[in-house]
């Protein structure tokens, strides 16, 4: 099952966040290959016309292939453990989903209609995080999920 992070906004290629994201997604792809997970990629969209959440949702929707599992990151989402996140990814894979798409909205969040389409709505806590850090945290959790499923030592319960 391929994995895509579809996010509103552009992250510079030479930023510290980009280096961390690349590292974690490469680790995810290497670890996940034997598990039927990966490769992982990022798709960035940008609403240059200022159409708000609805326009961003339209752009994000173009990044969702037929049959993909949708994971939305939203402050109103569920707080789950890393092993539960790993189990959700495994469940989507085992259902035969060709891809899982993790959605990260713009500064005002995801359009409710797009969020409501998600198979899983997650929150990284009650605090507000910059979108670029959310990408890093998500990439790390993807790698952690792959190591949990592989039985590796990275995650210590």
What is the spatial distance between Cα 157 and Cα 141, in angstroms, rounded to a whole number? 14
Is residue 150 exposed (0-12), middle (13-18) or buried (19+ Cβ within 10 Å)? middle
Does the annotation list 124 as a binding residue? yes
SS3 76: strand
Does the annotation list 113 as a binding residue? no
Does the annotation list 73 as a binding residue? yes
SS3 24: helix
Tell me which residue of 82, 88, 76 sits closest to 120, measured CA to CA. 88
Does the annotation list 38 as a binding residue? no
Does the annotation list 126 as a binding residue? yes
Does the annotation list 127 as a binding residue? yes
Does the annotation list 11 as a binding residue? no
SS3 70: strand
Residue ranges of the annotated binding site are 73, 105, 124-129
Residue ranges of the annotated binding site for S-adenosyl-L-methionine are 73, 105, 124-129
């Amino acid at each position: 099952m391929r994995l895509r992070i579809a996010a509103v906004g552009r992250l510079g290629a030479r930023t510290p966040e980009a280096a961390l994201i690349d590292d974690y997604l490469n680790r995810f792809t290497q670890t996940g290959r034997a598990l039927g997970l990966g490769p992982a990629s990022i798709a960035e969209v940008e609403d240059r016309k200022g159409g708000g959440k609805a326009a961003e949702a339209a752009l994000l929707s173009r990044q969702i292939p037929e049959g993909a599992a949708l994971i939305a990151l939203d402050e109103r989402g569920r707080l789950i453990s890393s092993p539960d996140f790993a189990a959700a990814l495994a469940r989507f894979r085992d259902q035969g989903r060709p891809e899982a798409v993790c959605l990260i909205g713009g500064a005002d969040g995801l359009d409710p209609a797009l969020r409501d389409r998600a198979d899983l709505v997650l929150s990284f806590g009650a605090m507000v995080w910059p979108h670029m850090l959310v990408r890093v945290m998500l990439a790390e959790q993807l790698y952690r999920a792959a190591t949990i499923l592989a039985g590796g030592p990275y995650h210590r319960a």
